[in-house]
Structure 1
Amino acid sequence: MKLVRPVLTVLMCCYALCVVYATSKPTKGSRIHHEKPLSSHEHNDEDHEYDHDAFLGEEEAKTFDQLPPDESQRRLGIIVDRIDEDKDGFVTEAELNEWIKKAQKKYIYDNVDRQWKDYDTNGDDIISWDEYKNVTYGTYLENPTEEEGYDYKKQMSRDEKRFKAADKNADNDADREEFTAFLHPEDFDHMKHTVVQETMEELDKNLDGFIDLEEYIGDMYKGDEEDHGEPAWVTAERDQFNEFRDKDKDGKMDLDETKDWILPNNYDHALSEAKHLVSESDADKDGKLTKEEILNKFDLFVGSQATDYGEALNKHDEF
């Protein structure tokens, strides 16, 4: 049995090392999850590069950039059928929003695909909690001795809670979507409570169910061995806590205040883009799109003027 530390744990260890070796430098903001932009291009009406990146994801958009208009339109038709999840012949704003979010997460799904076989040990295309536990904690389970500075039992318990939260149908197995939510909880709305709860449990050293000022600062700054005094950025973080983090001014952050800190209410770029695509393509103004309406605006969704498309035509068997 091998023992593989969970992805989040490895990241947190790296984070901790950074703090140890750079205690005089600010690490503020490292726990805050900001929404990834849909595209590096500006959103304007002169060209539709932003729309292409948003609708397809940047990597897939590069492939479509190499296609002639007729092939681009044909592939768009296949995509439309996928977006129309209820198969009623219309693409709604909600369905477009969901599609765009999935397109933006493609790099996450690719990451899961690379790890899948490591955890799906019986090859049934499902990962059970026992499979994940045995792969990740196998050595510890066989010989439950603690490694200095690392609590396997506590981490395994945390992983099990997260696995159950990701397991929407509560069958103790994870399909690819559920396993993706387990590995990348910050990217799934139904997992965000779990992200907040894990953060609170990690920082709440006195186990009172809250994050007080010293626990908040202690997560970022461990002190200066040469005793040069507290850096200015730490003082600024204390002010941030008192003025903005601790909303009810009781000297500590509860679950809701912690959520506002690490998961700020970002502008919903995917929903905004879905609204934009519907507005630009909805010829009969009924608030939803037919396949014909989308194909008539294929240049907005996927179109390109490129002609060097020979290599791209040989990619992506799904088309």
Structure 2
Amino acid sequence: MIRPLLMCFVLCVVSGSSKPTEKKSRVHEEEPLSHLEHDDHKNYDYDHEAFLGQDEAKTFDQLPPEESKRRLGIIVDKIDTNKDGFISEDELKNWIKLAQKRHVLDSMEHQWKDFDMNDDGLISWDEYKNVTYGSYLEDPKTDTEYNYTHMMARDERRFKVADRNGDMIADKQEFTAFLHPEDHDHMKDIVVQETMEDIDKNGDGFIDLKEYIGDMYAAVKEDDEDPEWVATERQQFSEFRDKNKDGKMDKEETLDWIFPSDYDHTEAEAKHLLHESDANQDGKLTKDEILNNYDIFVGSQVTDFGEALLRHDEF
């Protein structure tokens, strides 16, 4: 059985443990283009994951330059959907979005077999509950440091929202919404609710400045000096998060915070790749321009083909 703690980590909207001085982000950009730092001065790893998808980028990392270029050429032909011989910004953007969706679907498929216990192509709430919380249900422990009853109720609430027809049985589309709620408009309210429950320590239904900062940063000692970014976040809260200036964030303000609508990361990455590779600055890319800059799009780190060369039939 899957331990509840593990599934809490998998399903939690924001996961991972942070060092005291590190900033923890609640902001969602649908499925992240990459979890890596975007710093082209160091490497193009972020661009590789954004362009190829996180799983496919690992495959290309194992290929020599000649094979990377060959496979990239095949990908370029797929991106050029109108077959005019050029890659436009919109075509590049659509391809990056496709890579995002592919990663989400692969994640769902990977977990699907763990929960579809009767192999009927559906996952009921009882199946999910028994696989995830079976050990706890068989032997509830009142002295555990984890409130599994609360975790299970929270999962059930999210499951009900993802279950569009209300039968408490999820098909693959509904289960994907359950696992990745930030990618589905009808799930955003539950993401906001879960976020506020996590941060709202005094239970008043709002997020005040102390709770906002406390969620991102906790000093080890009371007299520890705050990192510089903490002061910036205090200013951000006062000037931008708390729109009505009442000293706290309500549901609408929290929604605007964690689902910002003023910045499209996919569009920004498409513009970046275009700018870096458009040698003649005509606003579109030829196949040669992309292949001449293959290191930006796919890169290559080793010369051992290994199993990666034979992994995908399309190549």
Say yes or no: TM over 0.5: yes
Partner of 2:205: 209
Partner of 1:4: 4
The one-letter amino acid paired with 1:59 is: K
Normalization by structure 1: what TM-score?
Answer: 0.62
- CA–CA separation in structure 2 for the residues paired with 1:264 and 1:205: 24
Partner of 2:75: 76
Deviation (angstroms), 1:174: 3.5
- CA–CA separation in structure 1 for the residues paired with 2:299 and 2:21: 44
Normalization by structure 2: what TM-score?
Answer: 0.63
Per-residue CA distance 1:260-286 (angstroms, 9 max, x = gap): 4334457423234557889999xxx9x
Greater displacement, 120-129 / 153-162? 120-129
The one-letter amino acid paired with 2:226 is: W
Partner of 2:171: 174
Deviation (angstroms), 1:200: 0.5
Deviation (angstroms), 1:10: 7.4
Give the SS at the match of 1:121: coil
CA contact (8 A) 1:64 1:72 kept: no
| Cα 1:126–1:102 shift into 2, 3 Å | farther
Deviation (angstroms), 1:199: 0.7
| Cα 1:162–1:295 shift into 2, 3 Å | farther
CA contact (8 A) 1:38 1:104 kept: no
The one-letter amino acid paired with 1:196 is: V
**Aligned pairs for 1:99-248 within 5 A:** 99-104=95-100, 109-144=105-140, 146-167=142-163, 172-175=169-172, 178-186=174-182, 188-190=183-185, 191-219=187-215, 229-233=222-226, 236=231, 240-248=236-244
Give the SS at the match of 1:208: coil
The one-letter amino acid paired with 1:255 is: K
- CA–CA separation in structure 1 for the residues paired with 2:97 and 2:205: 33
The one-letter amino acid paired with 2:150 is: K
Give the SS at the match of 2:150: helix
The one-letter amino acid paired with 1:7 is: M
- CA–CA separation in structure 2 for the residues paired with 1:217 and 1:278: 37
The one-letter amino acid paired with 1:129 is: W
Deviation (angstroms), 1:118: 2.0
The one-letter amino acid paired with 2:26 is: R
Per-residue CA distance 1:171-218 (angstroms, 9 max, x = gap): 63131x5434433434x1534443222111222244332122343355
**Aligned pairs for 1:242-281 within 5 A:** 242-265=238-261, 267-273=263-269
CA contact (8 A) 1:211 1:252 kept: yes
Per-residue CA distance 1:121-168 (angstroms, 9 max, x = gap): 223443332221111122333455544443223222221232344445
| Cα 1:107–1:252 shift into 2, 3 Å | same
| Cα 1:221–1:274 shift into 2, 3 Å | closer
- CA–CA separation in structure 2 for the residues paired with 1:220 and 1:304: 34
| Cα 1:166–1:73 shift into 2, 3 Å | same
Match of 2:26 among 22, 28, 31: 31
Per-residue CA distance 1:59-90 (angstroms, 9 max, x = gap): 3544676556995478438845xx97xxx999
CA contact (8 A) 2:61 2:300 kept: no
Give the SS at the match of 1:233: coil
CA contact (8 A) 2:63 2:309 kept: no
CA contact (8 A) 1:73 1:295 kept: no
What 5-or-longer segments of structure 2 have no aligned partner? none
- CA–CA separation in structure 2 for the residues paired with 1:223 and 1:40: 27
| Cα 1:28–1:244 shift into 2, 3 Å | farther
Give the SS at the match of 1:5: helix
CA contact (8 A) 1:67 1:309 kept: no
What 5-or-longer segments of structure 1 have no aligned partner? none
**Who wins on radius of gyration, i.e. which is larger?**
1
State the superposition RMSD in angstroms.
5.2
**Aligned pairs for 1:47-58 within 5 A:** 54-57=50-53, 58=57
The one-letter amino acid paired with 2:171 is: A
Deviation (angstroms), 1:94: 6.5
- CA–CA separation in structure 2 for the residues paired with 1:122 and 1:95: 41
Per-residue CA distance 1:3-53 (angstroms, 9 max, x = gap): 4335345797x989x68xx7xx4454343446537995749xxxx998776
| Cα 1:28–1:275 shift into 2, 3 Å | closer
